[in-house]
Structure 1
Amino acid sequence: MEKSTHSPKVLTQQEVNFFKKFIPKGSLCIDIGTNIGDTTVPMALAAGKEGTTLGFDPNPYVYKILEENVKLNRDKANIIPYPFAITKEEGEFNYASSEASFGNGGIANEVVTDQGSFQLSQKVKGVVLEDFLLKHYSDLLPRLSFIKVDVEGADREVIESIGGLLMKYKPVLVAECFKRSTPSERAELYETVAGLGYSLYYFSNFDDQAEIIAIKSAKDMNHWKTFNFYAVPKAG
């Protein structure tokens, strides 16, 4: 989902109710690619003060706004932000964006140009999520209920990197199919998620009244340009 840091974000009860469908009170949920926290906050409100919501975003510009949103909701939610990317191997990475505001972007081992011409002067830290959680939140992992991934076209790579968590704890997964993804890339994203034992569903918006359509095959991923989907573990 493309986002702007310039227009104010109004949080609705319908958004919170959407996440309440999947996030029980007191559970652990994770937002990978928080941006300013526009999905992190309603996720955390669904989990409640007794729950834990971890937010990851390596972009230092949006991260400052995320921290302010965390402070504004401290009495109602337990959000713990981290300025890290989620990667297959721990290390330092280059970050680039197609926007001067660095509102959307991506990482790579080398200087990257396919994500945009605006380059951060400093490198960003990448962590392996499963290792990070086992080190810092092992006691909460049995309560892992929900993971959202929105990393501007690299969702499949991130999902592959957290495959062990998905197979073991079976949280609901929300991810994005990026507008520039080719049909083969869309098929790969579908096969990656389905191969982890999940059923996929298109949804029109983060709203409890959103239109929901089952994605039954890889070719169904071509019905929409940019869209979000949720995935739930298959029964049995």
Structure 2
Amino acid sequence: MFEYFKKSIARKKARRQFQEYPHVIDTFLLEEEGSVSFANWKNPLVNAKVITQGEINFFKKFIPKGSLCIDIGTNIGDTTVPMALAAGKEGTTLGFDPNPHVFKILEINVSLNKDKTNIIPLPYAITKDEGEFYYSSSEASFGNGGISNEIVEDQGAFQLSTKIKGITLEKYLKANHPTLLSKLSFIKVDVEGADKEVIKSIADLIKEFKPVLVAECFPKSTPKERAELYQIVSDFNYELYYFSDFHENAEIIKIEDARDMNKWKTFNFYSLPVGKQV
């Protein structure tokens, strides 16, 4: 009981008062990848990550060895690392997150598992137009958050003291990784309710290279916003699928039309070009 109240007080403090939190390196022994390490952030509002073979196998369905995959909204790397393990040392995984408090933990995770992964961390938001933006969070500890602009007006009461940089993904890739574009297999987007705007900003990449797309339907999204998200993705000639978890045995349900986007309060979906098999 004492431990419960201690954790509860720590969570309340993290929501209201900023402080730096350390990390701890956890190691997991997996059936295929062997020993895998992960830096867990000791922020009381962030659940400790457990890397499993089932999660890596989920990503292996979509990410071939040696391909390029992109994680937009990496946080500390909880999906970035499993994605990178699927792509392998010979592949390339780009992880974007402008939040400096999670980015420092991401950089530690990038330094681990070097014999199995090739991750490039990038401290930027992906935006329609390049520029500088305010970054806000509902938590003083900045465990999550997002940019505030004319599209997403309010991400929370706590704001970084300096602006973050937003870049256009297509311009960045063509300038820095032009030879990898033909290997683009997978893009994950999780940006606290701004997924629709990010997907619109990378529309030309999706149309040209047909990567598998994973995104979140945010809990605060209205039925209209959910319908718009569905339409944007389906207009790429993609089919959408709800999945219950990042696990190879997750429940999969095809999203037949925009109304299905309201069946769950919050969920992740993956989408594939029509006719593509996994």
| TM-score greater than 0.5 by the shorter chain | yes
Name the CA distance, whole Å, in 1 between partners of 2:183 and 2:105: 28
SS of the residue corresponding to residue 179 of structure 2 reads coil
- Give how far 1:49 is off: 0.1
Distance in 2, Cα, partners of 1:4 & 1:62: 13
| Residue 108, structure 1, aligned to residue 152, structure 2 | no
Cα deviation for residue 6 of structure 1 reads: 3.7
The residue type paired with residue 68 of structure 2 is L
> Is this contact kept in 2: 1:5–1:36, CA < 8 A?
no
Any conservation in 2 of the 1:26–1:52 contact (CA below 8 Å)?
yes
Instruction: Report the alpha carbon displacement of residue 234 of structure 1 after superposing the two structures with TM.
Output: 1.1
Is the partner of 1:65 in helix, strand or coil?
Answer: helix
User: Match of 1:139, SS?
Assistant: helix
Structure 1 vs Structure 2 CA RMSD: 1.5
Contact 1:95 1:105 in 2 (8 A): yes
The alignment status of 1:63 with 2:103, answered yes or no, reads yes
Partner residue in 2 for 1:216: 256
Aligned length: 233
Instruction: Indicate if the aligned counterparts of 2:148 and 2:155 stay in contact, CA closer than 8 A.
Output: no
Question: SS in structure 2 opposite 1:140?
Answer: helix
Greater RCO (Cα-Cα under 8 Å, separation 6 or more): 1
Which has the higher Rg, Structure 1 or Structure 2? 2
User: Are the equivalent residues in 2 in contact too, given 1:28–1:144 (CA < 8 A)?
Assistant: yes
Q: Is the deviation greater in 206-215 or in 69-78? A: 69-78
Q: Partner amino acid for 2:65?
A: K
Unaligned stretches of 5+ in structure 1?
none
Q: Is the 8 A contact 1:160 1:192 kept in 2?
A: yes
**Alignment partner of 1:207 out of 233, 239, 247:** 247
Q: Structure 1 residues 5, 58: closer, same or farther in 2, change over 3 A?
A: farther
Distance 2:215 2:45 in 1: 20
* 1:104-157 deviation per Cα after TM superposition (whole angstroms, max 9, x unaligned): 2111247x8621000000000000000000000010000000000000100000
Q: Is the 8 A contact 2:240 2:255 kept in 1?
A: yes
- C-alpha distance after superposition, 1:61-116 (max 9, x if no partner): 00001001111122210000000000000111100000111112111247x86210
The match for 2:77 is: 37
- Contiguous gaps of at least 5 residues in structure 2: 1-42
Q: Check whether the contact 2:46–2:143 (CA below 8 A) recurs between aligned residues.
A: no
Q: 1:171 to 1:227 in 2, by over 3 A?
A: same
Contact 1:57 1:82 in 2 (8 A): yes
CA distance in 1, matches of 2:44, 2:234: 31
**1:5, 1:62 within 8 Å by CA — same for their partners in 2?**
no
Code of the aligned partner of 2:191: V
2:196 is the alignment partner of 1:183: no
C-alpha distance in 2 between matches for 1:86 and 1:75: 29
2:212 equivalent to 1:172: yes
CA distance in 1, matches of 2:153, 2:195: 18
Q: 1:190 to 1:121 in 2, by over 3 A?
A: same
- Which of these residues, 125, 128, 131, is aligned with residue 85 of structure 1? 125
1:181-216 CA-to-partner distances (Å, cap 9, x unmatched) read: 000000000000001111000000000000000001
The change in CA–CA distance for 1:189 and 1:84 in structure 2 (over 3 A counts) is same
Q: How far has the Cα of 1:5 moved from its partner?
A: 6.0
SS of equivalent residue, structure 2 residue 93: strand
Q: Percent identity?
A: 70
Q: Secondary structure at the match of 1:103?
A: coil
